[in-house]
Amino acid sequence: MARILTGIQSSGKPHLGNVLGAIIPAIELSQKKDNESYFFIADLHSLTTIKDGDTRKNNVYEVAAAWLAFGFNTDQNVFYRQSDLPQVTELTWYLNCFTPYPMLANAHSFKDKSDRLSDVNAGLFDYPVLMAADILLYDANLVPVGKDQQQHLEMTRDIAGAVNHQAGKELLIVPEAHIQENVMTVPGTDGQKMSKSYGNTLDLFAPKNTLKKQVMGITTDSTPLEEPKNPDTCNVFALYELIANEKQVAVMRSNYLAGGYGYGHAKKELLNLLLEKFAEQRERFDYYMSDTALIEQELSKGAQKAQKVANEVIARMREALGFGVINR
Ligand code: ADP
Ligand code: TRP
Q: What is the pLDDT along the chain (328 residues), one digit of tens a residue?
A: 889 999 999 988 999 999 999 999 999 999 988 889 999 999 999 999 999 999 999 999 999 999 999 999 999 999 999 999 999 999 999 999 999 999 999 999 999 999 999 999 999 999 999 999 999 999 999 999 888 899 999 999 999 999 999 999 999 999 999 987 777 899 999 999 999 989 999 999 999 999 999 999 999 999 999 999 999 999 999 999 999 999 999 999 999 999 999 999 999 999 999 999 999 999 999 999 999 999 999 999 999 999 999 999 999 999 999 999 887 7
- Given a contact cutoff of 8 angstroms between Cβ atoms, the answer to whether 171 and 34 are in contact is no
Question: 178 forms bridges with which residues in the sheet?
Answer: 144
CATH number of 205-277: 1.10.240.10
pLDDT at residue number 286:
98
Tell how far the Cα of 320 is from the centroid of ligand 2, in angstroms.
27
pLDDT at 127: 97
Question: Nearest-CA neighbor of 211 among 147, 151, 285?
Answer: 285
Instruction: Calculate how far, in angstroms, residue 11's C-alpha sits from the geometric centre of ligand 2.
Output: 12
Q: What is the C-alpha to C-alpha distance for residues 301 and 267, in angstroms, rounded to an integer?
A: 41
pLDDT at 206: 97
Longest alpha-carbon distance in the chain: 79
CA atoms within 13 A on the CB side of 290: 6
Residue 81 and residue 47: Cα distance in Å, rounded?
14
> From the CA of 301, how far away is ligand 1's center (Å)?
27
Q: How far apart are CA 265 and CA 226, in angstroms?
A: 12
- Cβ of 22 below 6 Å from ligand 1: yes
Grouping H, G, I as helix, E, B as strand and the rest as coil, residue 260 is: coil
Contact 175 CB / ligand 1 (< 6 Å):
no
What strand order describes the sheet that includes 78-81?
78-81, 35-42, 2-9, 142-145, 176-179
CATH architecture of the domain covering 2-185+291-321: 3-Layer(aba) Sandwich (3.40)
Determine the pLDDT at residue 183.
Answer: 77
Q: Which of 195, 205, 235, 242 gets mutated to test ligand 1 (max ligand atoms within 8 A of its CB)?
A: 195
Domain map (residue ranges) of the chain: 2-185+291-321, 205-277
For residue 193 and ligand 1, the question of a CB distance below 6 A is answered with yes
* CB distance 173 to 160 below 8 Å: yes
Q: How much is the pTM?
A: 0.95
| Cα–ligand 1 centroid distance for 21 (angstroms) | 7
2-185+291-321 and 205-277 share one fold: no
> CB neighbours (10 Å) of residue 78?
21
- Asked if residue 42 has its Cβ within 6 Å of ligand 2, the reply is yes
Assess contact for 1 and 139: CB atoms under 8 A. Answer: no
